[in-house]
Amino acid sequence: MPWFERNLKFGYPKEMLPFFLERLEGTIIRIEQKVKGVDDKILSVKLNGKWSIKENIGHLAEVDGVANKRIDEMVNGAAMMSPAVFEPQDYSAWPIAKVIELFKKNRLSNIKKYNAIKEDDLLKSSQHPRLKAMMTPVDLAWFDAEHDDHHLVKINEILTQASGR
């Protein structure tokens, strides 16, 4: 299912944040395990012109860059969060270790930021520019965990198709 077609409901209690952070952190090892020992050609291939595995991972790193900014905006009381503006690199040409390193750096930075938010600030919300829904930092953490899962499924599909598994 295309990500933009997902129906998403927000309004999670702040006490759910630890579970969402656990998922966000878990994505690192999930990705590392998926690409371990996989030929670089498979990691870089763009099946039917779609994103390669490296591009999917690079995208998650970029999304984390956006999330990092959005967390600050919510905590600072912005009415609306910044739009998701990406500056994609040619990740397929990068070594996989470099792509994962970028993702890991951004992800750990976000988790650190989430953990530093004061409890009262977890209740603050801003409008998501595309969804037009109010989101708290807790909702954003869940949203990104679901988004991770979406791309992990995509990576699996590429692995299955490209390696004939």
Partner 1 sequence: MEQTKWFERKFDFGFTQNIFPSIIGRLRETPARLEEKVKTISDDLAVAKPNGSWSIKENIGHLIDLEPLWVGRLEDILNRKTDLRTADLSNTKTTEANHNQRSLTDLLGEFRSIRNITIKKLDQLSEKQIYWSALHPRLKTPMRTMDHFLFVAEHDDHHLVTIHNLIQNHNR
Q: Is 110 helix (H, G, I), strand (E, B) or coil?
A: helix
Three-state SS string over 41-95 comes to: HHHHCCHHHCCCHHHHHHHHHHHHHHHHHHHHHHHCCCCECCCCCCCCCCHHHCC
Other beta carbons less than 10 A from residue 118's beta carbon: 9
Question: Which of 6, 41, 50, 105 is the binder for partner 1 (CB under 8 A)?
Answer: 6
Question: Which of 86, 95, 149, 163 is the binder for partner 1 (CB under 8 A)?
Answer: 149
Question: Which of 4, 5, 48, 120 is the binder for partner 1 (CB under 8 A)?
Answer: 5
Nearer to partner 1, 30 or 69 (CB): 30
For the bound state, the minimum distance from the C-beta of residue 4 to partner 1, rounded and expressed in Å, comes to 12
Burial class (CB in 10 A: 0-12, 13-18, 19+), 34: middle
Q: Is 101 in the site for partner 1 (CB under 8 A)?
A: no
> Which secondary structure element, helix H or strand E, spans residue 135, and what is its range?
strand 134-135
Nearer to partner 1, 5 or 87 (CB): 5
- How big is the site for partner 1, counted in residues (CB under 8 A)? 25
The number of helices, as runs of H, and strands, as runs of E, in the chain is 5, 2
Nearer to partner 1, 15 or 101 (CB): 15
Residues of this chain that bind partner 1 (CB under 8 A): 1, 5-7, 9, 13-19, 22-23, 26, 29-30, 33, 119, 146, 149-150, 152-153, 156
